[in-house]
A and B are shown apart, each in its own frame.
Chain A
Amino acid sequence: MISNKYKILVIEDESNIKNLLKALLETSGYQVITAKSCQSGQTQFISHRPDLVILDLGLPDFDGMTFLKEIRKESLTPVIIVSARSEDKDKVDALDFGANDYITKPFSSAELVARVRSALRNSRHSADEGRLPGGKFESDGLVIDYDARRVFIDKKEINLTQTEYNIIALLSEYSGRVMTYAAIIKAIWGYVDINSTKKLQVNMANIRKKFGAKPGEKNYIVNELGVGYRMCERNE
């Protein structure tokens, strides 16, 4: 029987977690292939062409990063990194090397499935996700009109500067995905200097103020401390 389910490749050496992920994803309606090492992961990747990869960074043979770099040479298949807290710096590196998202151990099943769903949706429609005909992004009361370069919250227009608008537009284009400080800076200013993280954070603080965001409450933009920002998707 040929199934049209999404195929997910799970690369994880810890067999308990691997079995758990397999069971969890299968009950959520995905087809799951597993691999225990970087090398067998690569073989599986080539022969099965999965729609998404869940990758543990600490693998027995090579670093998960090696796998990521290898497949990014020729494919844009979404990759979700599973990392332990001690690998904080690796997380940023992985995102900068083209991973789509990361999730920190220990994670809840709901969290993981939500990330998988969002990564798959993003890759399917790529940058069109959330855009209505006429170049609009909509999420939960936040509307971005790309043609007019205007932003509304609950139908009220928010006055943003050029830079602020560019940041919002960029984040919305990759909504659901973590954008690292470095990635945003490169896209907005084109160059990185010693003050650019600060510049970005000041801009973000102003955006939050204009958006009326309150610390600790659900906001349109989630800040991932020390890593970057992520715009929430619809209904997330």
Chain B
Amino acid sequence: MKKSYEIAKDIMVTIGILCVCFFICFTIHNAFERNALIPSVLVLGVFLISVITHGYVYGTIAAIIIVLADNFAFTFPFYAFSYLLPENIISTIILFVITLVTCNITTKLKRQESIKVESENERMRANLLRSVSHDLRTPLTTIYSSSSVLLDNYDEFSDKQRMQILKGISEDSLWLSRMVENLLSITKLDSANVKVIKTNTALDELIDSALIKYSKRYPYQKVTVDIPDEFLFIPMDSILIEQVIINILENAVQHAKGMTKLSLKVFSISNKVIFEIKDNGCGIPEERIKHIFTGYYSQDASSYDSRKHNAGIGLSVCASIIKAHGGDIKAENLKSGGCVFRFTLNMEDDEYDQQ
């Protein structure tokens, strides 16, 4: 579907540029009766075609057409193919070689760019892996050492101490399980050919489910909810979007210092649904806001303390999930203090699975 659209677009572009070129050449030919400019206009045309279109094919075809047209229309004898004059043959060959080389070079350039993007992705993945391994080590250490301490010296601790140690184990393992949850989502999305499977989800059920899970973890920070009265049905992978909402709320609880209000608002504009999560905490430092959704990937693994950066992975996961859904996500500081996270989803999607 997308492929045939692309081919059609490339063909249109090729024809369009060729027409413009010929038009210019005709104008020059008729108005000035000088042909020196014509080959350069034609080469420029081929150059543009090979930059804009995909692959060798269009550039090469355009080159052949141009060489023939040049010979036919703009070299003596006019309006006839003639390869009898040696200068015609030579100019044709030169023109042909120039156009071919151009289109070769531009294609190679494009390939290189895509390789660069790929290696960038690869680097990000390696960074992620490093950061994650680093992050996992801290809670694992707590869990392992606490439990082995309890096993070895159980009787030497008071009840209160034992409770404290156990509480540490429980907290850290919950943290670990959330981390793993996030990692699972990333691996689900990162394998490029796996598409999110969208099912129609009722908005109020999604919000309800997310908030219940959230309030189990953070019962003390209430969330004010404002969702439309009408029944909204949004195609999405509900488990993943639920995680986006929980991650953003969790990020606010952990990082928005001085926050007293946390609110979630959902509204729809034409065929988009916009989710807004607002807090009145300390806001995000300007230098961090740009990288807030990608920060985790590009960090140096050795330079930070793990607790602070769980939010990093949480938000990176949000960004990948929303991207995979074809939506947008943004973070902004508010003038009134605090910040807002906003993400959008599309209401209609012809590719969703009907349950």
A residues neighboring B (CB under 8 Å): 85-86, 88, 106, 181, 194, 197-198, 201-202, 204-205, 208, 213-217, 219, 222-226
Interface residues of B in 223-237 (CB under 8 A from A): 223, 225, 227, 231, 233
Task: Supply 28 A–B pairs (Cβ within 8 Å), ascending by A.
Answer: A85-B181, A88-B239, A106-B173, A181-B355, A197-B355, A198-B200, A198-B233, A201-B202, A201-B233, A202-B202, A204-B202, A205-B204, A205-B231, A215-B207, A215-B211, A215-B227, A216-B207, A216-B212, A216-B215, A216-B223, A217-B211, A222-B212, A223-B205, A224-B209, A225-B201, A225-B209, A225-B238, A226-B238
Query: Contacts A198-B200, A216-B208, A216-B223: A225 and B215 contacting too (C-beta < 8 A)?
Result: no
Q: Please, which residues of chain B bring their CB within 8 A of the CB of A217?
A: 211
**Closest B residue to A218 using CB positions:** B212
Q: Please, which residues of chain A bring their CB within 8 A of the CB of B207?
A: 215-216
Contact B215 A197 (CB under 8 A): no
Contact B214 A216 (CB under 8 A): yes
Query: Contacts A86-B184, A205-B202, A216-B225: A223 and B208 contacting too (C-beta < 8 A)?
Result: yes
Q: Please, which residues of chain A bring their CB within 8 A of the CB of B205?
A: 201, 204-205, 223, 225
Q: Please, which residues of chain B bring their CB within 8 A of the CB of A214?
A: 225
Q: Please, which residues of chain A bring their CB within 8 A of the CB of B355?
A: 181, 197
Q: Please, which residues of chain B bring their CB within 8 A of the CB of A215?
A: 204, 207-208, 211, 225, 227
Q: Please, which residues of chain B bring their CB within 8 A of the CB of A86?
A: 184
Q: Please, which residues of chain A bring their CB within 8 A of the CB of B209?
A: 223-225
Judge if B177 is at the interface, Cβ distance under 8 Å: yes
Judge if B354 is at the interface, Cβ distance under 8 Å: yes
CA distance A214 to B204 in the complex (A): 9
- Distance (Å) between the CB of A91 and the closest chain B CB? 11
How many A-B Cβ pairs are below 8 Å?
63
CA distance A106 to B225 in the complex (A): 28
CA distance A205 to B231 in the complex (A): 7
- Distance (Å) between the CB of A61 and the closest chain B CB? 26
Chain B interface bracket (under 10, 10 to 19, 20 to 34, 35 or more): 20 to 34
B interface, over-half SS: helix
**Closest B residue to A105 using CB positions:** B177
Query: Sorted from nearest, which 6 A-B pairs have the closest CB atoms?
Result: A216-B211, A215-B208, A225-B209, A215-B207, A201-B202, A197-B355
Judge if B242 is at the interface, Cβ distance under 8 Å: yes
CA distance A215 to B181 in the complex (A): 23
Judge if B199 is at the interface, Cβ distance under 8 Å: yes
CA distance A130 to B47 in the complex (A): 79
CA distance A198 to B199 in the complex (A): 11
CA distance A131 to B94 in the complex (A): 94
- Distance (Å) between the CB of A97 and the closest chain B CB? 18
**Closest A residue to B200 using CB positions:** A198
Q: Which of B174, B223, B227, B239 is in CB contact (< 8 Å) with A225?
A: B239
Judge if B206 is at the interface, Cβ distance under 8 Å: yes
Q: Please, which residues of chain A bring their CB within 8 A of the CB of B238?
A: 225-226
Query: Contacts A106-B177, A215-B208: A85 and B184 contacting too (C-beta < 8 A)?
Result: yes
- Distance (Å) between the CB of B195 and the closest chain A CB? 16
Contact B242 A225 (CB under 8 A): yes
Q: Please, which residues of chain A bring their CB within 8 A of the CB of B354?
A: 194, 197
CA distance A223 to B173 in the complex (A): 26
Query: Contacts A194-B354, A216-B211: A208 and B184 contacting too (C-beta < 8 A)?
Result: no
Q: Please, which residues of chain B bring their CB within 8 A of the CB of A85?
A: 181, 184, 239
Q: Other than A205-B205, A205-B231, give 12 A-B pairs with Cβ distance below 8 A.
A: A85-B184, A181-B355, A202-B231, A204-B205, A205-B204, A208-B204, A215-B208, A216-B214, A216-B223, A216-B225, A217-B211, A225-B201
- Give per-residue flags for B216-254: 1 if the beta carbon is below 8 A from chain A beta carbons, else 0: 000000010101000101000011001000000000000
CA distance A37 to B204 in the complex (A): 41
- Distance (Å) between the CB of B353 and the closest chain A CB? 11
- Distance (Å) between the CB of B254 and the closest chain A CB? 19
**Closest B residue to A213 using CB positions:** B208
- Distance (Å) between the CB of B240 and the closest chain A CB? 11
- Distance (Å) between the CB of A87 and the closest chain B CB? 12
**Closest B residue to A226 using CB positions:** B238
Q: Please, which residues of chain B bring their CB within 8 A of the CB of A201?
A: 202, 205, 231, 233
- Distance (Å) between the CB of A119 and the closest chain B CB? 21
**Closest B residue to A193 using CB positions:** B354
Q: Please, which residues of chain A bring their CB within 8 A of the CB of B208?
A: 213, 215-216, 219, 223
CA distance A194 to B355 in the complex (A): 7
- Distance (Å) between the CB of A62 and the closest chain B CB? 25
CA distance A216 to B249 in the complex (A): 13
CA distance A194 to B199 in the complex (A): 12
CA distance A195 to B101 in the complex (A): 57
Max chain A Cβ within 10 angstroms of own Cβ: one of B199, B208, B209, B238: B208
- Distance (Å) between the CB of B237 and the closest chain A CB? 9
- Distance (Å) between the CB of B120 and the closest chain A CB? 29
**Closest B residue to A88 using CB positions:** B239
Q: Please, which residues of chain B bring their CB within 8 A of the CB of A222?
A: 212
- Distance (Å) between the CB of B351 and the closest chain A CB? 16
Q: Please, which residues of chain A bring their CB within 8 A of the CB of B201?
A: 225-226
